[in-house]
Amino acid sequence: MDTTTVATRANRLSKYQADPVKTVILASMMGTAIEFFDFYAYGTASAAYFPKVFFPQMTPLLATVVSLLTFGVAFVARPVGSFLFGHFGDRLGRKKTLVMSLMLMGVATVAIGFIPGYSTLGVTGALLLCLCRFVQGIGLGGEWSGAVLVATENAPADKRALYGAFPEVGAPIGFFLCNGLFFMLEKVLTPSQMVEFGWRIPFWASAVLVVIGLYVRLKLQETPLFKLAQARDNTTGSPLREVWRSNWREILKGTFIMGATYAFFFTLTTWSLSYATTALGFSHSEFLLLLMGAIVEFAVLIMVTSVLADRVGRKKKF
């Protein structure tokens, strides 16, 4: 994109008022942080507590395997959420789909905190757990892609990587807050109390975070790019069909690349917690602290690489 193209694009968008930078950053980053807080709460609970709560009738090894399989249910649902919310995001707008995805994730997460264990509901409890986990996956699939769109469509042409990094930073923030809460609970409550009710507290706490996130999201305006598309009547009634017809190769490549990336990521953040506390002798609180340290480095590197990406992009243009 040369300087003339950038100037033309800026002139076209100038009549469509954009949100202040702080609002865009806060709304995209906070929403993603809340969604990932919810998502990671399940990951931590499935590795440390669900085997005893929902699968006590099995051997410890099998209970852990089945518990982690319920964690994997969301990875089947996330592409569904991406397609679903991406489709309606191009039809109805970014703001509406972001609000819906946050509400969907919040309701499913809080519901998990109220599901009775095996001693009360038997296998039905595990089935309800899988259902809520599937809904979580749909919510996160719609949330992350939508938040990145809101950030980048409000960004100046030379800072799109930086703006796009803020929703990404929401992931480690959510991870840090979630594991930090579990860490504090582990220090205050006994192991039996954690299994009995302590693991439910982060899921209940999600309700407060979702209310705050909705308050911020509802103050957002639609992005200037989407307003421009509406003004030109350049939206389509079947965006999913159109994008699949013209970009199916890119969709498949992106799906498998991200699938491989997250296989490694959640092996290190979820499975490792189970392995470290059962095979290596770490306590839950000790390993949660190690994970929190690693996630800080994760957040810093996201910001550093985004700044470098914008610098490289500017050099290539000029």
Q: What is the pLDDT of residues 21-47, one digit of tens each?
A: 677 777 778 878 888 898 889 989 999
Rounded (10°) CA dihedral 222, 223, 229, 232: 70
Higher pLDDT, 237 or 174: 174
Q: How far apart are CA 89 and CA 239, in angstroms?
A: 9
The predicted structure's pLDDT at residue 222: 62
Q: How far apart are CA 219 and CA 202, in angstroms?
A: 26
Q: Provide the pLDDT confidence category of residue 10 given band limits of 50, 70 and 90.
A: very low
Q: How far apart are CA 21 and CA 247, in angstroms?
A: 31
Q: Would the pLDDT of 204 be above 50?
A: yes
Least confident stretch, 7-11, 77-81, 305-309, 312-316: 7-11
Q: Provide the pLDDT confidence category of residue 20 given band limits of 50, 70 and 90.
A: low
Q: What is the pLDDT of residues 109-122, one digit of tens each?
A: 999 999 999 999 99
Q: What is the pLDDT of residues 258-275, one digit of tens each?
A: 778 777 877 877 888 888
Q: What angle do CA 85, 149, 223 make, to 5 degrees?
A: 100
Q: How far apart are CA 118 and CA 240, in angstroms?
A: 41
CB–CB of 25/166 below 8 Å?
Answer: yes
Rg (CA), the chain: 21
User: Mean pLDDT highest for which of 82-91, 100-109, 167-176, 182-191?
Assistant: 182-191
The predicted structure's pLDDT at residue 269: 78
The predicted structure's pLDDT at residue 21: 67
DSSP-based three-state secondary structure for 103? helix
For the chain, the average pLDDT equals 82
Query: Smallest Cα–Cα separation from 68: which of 293, 263, 318?
Result: 263
Higher pLDDT, 215 or 59: 59
Q: What is the pLDDT of residues 284-310, one digit of tens each?
A: 889 999 999 988 998 999 999 999 988
The predicted structure's pLDDT at residue 6: 42
Q: How far is CA 215 from CA 21, 87, 91, 301, 313, in A?
A: 17, 24, 23, 29, 35
Q: Would the pLDDT of 107 be above 70?
A: yes
Q: Would the pLDDT of 16 be above 60?
A: no
**What is the average per-residue pLDDT within 36-64?**
92
Q: How many CB atoms lie within 10 A of CB 130?
A: 15
> Which backbone phi and psi does 280 adopt, to 5 degrees?
-105, -10
Q: Would the pLDDT of 134 be above 90?
A: yes
Q: Provide the pLDDT confidence category of residue 315 given band limits of 50, 70 and 90.
A: low
Q: How far apart are CA 185 and CA 178, in angstroms?
A: 11
Q: Provide the pLDDT confidence category of residue 131 given band limits of 50, 70 and 90.
A: very high
Least confident stretch, 7-21, 133-147, 216-230: 7-21
Rounded (10°) CA dihedral 115, 121, 122, 127: -50
Q: Would the pLDDT of 173 be above 80?
A: yes
The predicted structure's pLDDT at residue 1: 45
Helix 224-231 to helix 123-153 angle (10° resolution) is 80
Least confident stretch, 98-112, 123-137, 266-280: 266-280
- Ordered structural domains, the chain, with CATH: 19-317 (1.20.1250.20)
DSSP-based three-state secondary structure for 181? helix
Q: What is the pLDDT of residues 67-94, one digit of tens each?
A: 999 988 988 888 888 778 777 767 766 6
Q: Provide the pLDDT confidence category of residue 63 given band limits of 50, 70 and 90.
A: very high
Least confident stretch, 102-111, 169-178, 219-228: 219-228
